[in-house]
Amino acid sequence: MGNSWFQFQQFRIHQDRCAMKISTDAVLLGALAKADSPQNILDIGTGTGVISLMLAQRFPDSLITAIEIDPDAAGQAEENFQESPFSERLRIIQGKFQDYPEDQHFDLIVSNPPYFPDHLKPKDSKRNQALHTDALSFEELIEQATRLLKTNGQIWIILPPRQMEDFSALALKRGLFPIHRILVRDRPFKPIIREIVGFSQKSGALEPNEIFLKNENGDFSEAYSFLISGFLLGY
């Protein structure tokens, strides 16, 4: 997806000033994250703003705050918000999530976080920031998000399986329990490539679900096509 913009059914995403372009991870999280009638939603590391916009479309009564550390990405997310039909319900904060003021609490917190603590870094400093946990560790993300979460709220995260194992162990130490888990495979019988987990401060029964992005023939699966219907063009 190297275009300078990406057209959805109800909004357009400009992404030429964002280090991380629109990804399947972001679309999956935007389509799956949920809470009971969320009124206030927080998107940590919003990038292009696509997750916030998808949530604004899904939850028409919600107010959404997005935070982004990179000034260029934050500025572009703001422009994407203002050009959307949901502009009055979206706001962007440019800065570090660790510095977010604790005067508001949220029903739903989402993040497609950086997850390469030891990865060989590319030369692009903005891409480094988007990919690596130097600017926001899992511990910092969990600690601050827990402070901002309402009692009955949920935190939804997407990560590769190994990193999700690490994140879940740290979350449990902070009293966050997994209550939703979606395992993502590219095709049936292929390895799990992502896990999408919803955490809550109240434990409950956990029954993992699976989704395949494609069928054996390479076409989008019926489940994934249904998931993105209403968002991507042609679905």
Per the domain annotation, does 120 fall within a domain? no
Whether 3 has a pLDDT exceeding 80, the answer reads: no
Q: Give the model's pLDDT for residue 9.
A: 96
Of the candidates 23, 14, 127, the one whose C-alpha atom is nearest the C-alpha of residue 70 is 127
Instruction: Check the CA dihedral 98-106-139-165 and report its sign.
Output: negative
Q: Give the model's pLDDT for residue 94.
A: 95
Is residue 204 within 8 A of residue 168, CB to CB? The reply is no
∠ Cα 27 154 23 (to 5°): 15
Per the domain annotation, does 190 fall within a domain? yes
pTM: 0.90
* Greater pLDDT, 157 or 103: 157
Strand ranges in the chain using DSSP code E only, listed in sequence order: 5-7, 12-14, 40-44, 63-68, 90-94, 106-111, 149-159, 177-185, 192-200, 209-212
Per the domain annotation, does 219 fall within a domain? yes
∠ Cα 149 154 156 (to 5°): 115
- Enumerate the β-bridge partners of residue 177: 200
Domain count, the chain: 1
Whether 70 has a pLDDT exceeding 60, the answer reads: yes
Average pLDDT over residues 117-128: 50
Number of Cβ atoms within 10 Å of the Cβ of 173: 10
> Taking all residues of the chain, what is their mean pLDDT, rounded to a whole number?
90
Whether 122 has a pLDDT exceeding 70, the answer reads: no
Per the domain annotation, does 234 fall within a domain? no
Per the domain annotation, does 3 fall within a domain? no
Task: Scan for tokens 């054996």, then name that residue.
Answer: 216
Whether 141 has a pLDDT exceeding 90, the answer reads: yes
d(CA 13, CA 84): 9
Per the domain annotation, does 4 fall within a domain? no
Q: Give the model's pLDDT for residue 130.
A: 42
d(CA 169, CA 138): 10
d(CA 130, CA 223): 29
- Enumerate the β-bridge partners of residue 110: 43, 156
Which CATH number is 184's domain given?
3.40.50.150
d(CA 184, CA 140): 26
Which residues form the domain of 179?
9-114+125-228
Per the domain annotation, does 99 fall within a domain? yes
Is residue 85 within 8 A of residue 10, CB to CB? The reply is yes
Of the candidates 49, 52, 72, 71, the one whose C-alpha atom is nearest the C-alpha of residue 62 is 52
d(CA 194, CA 206): 17
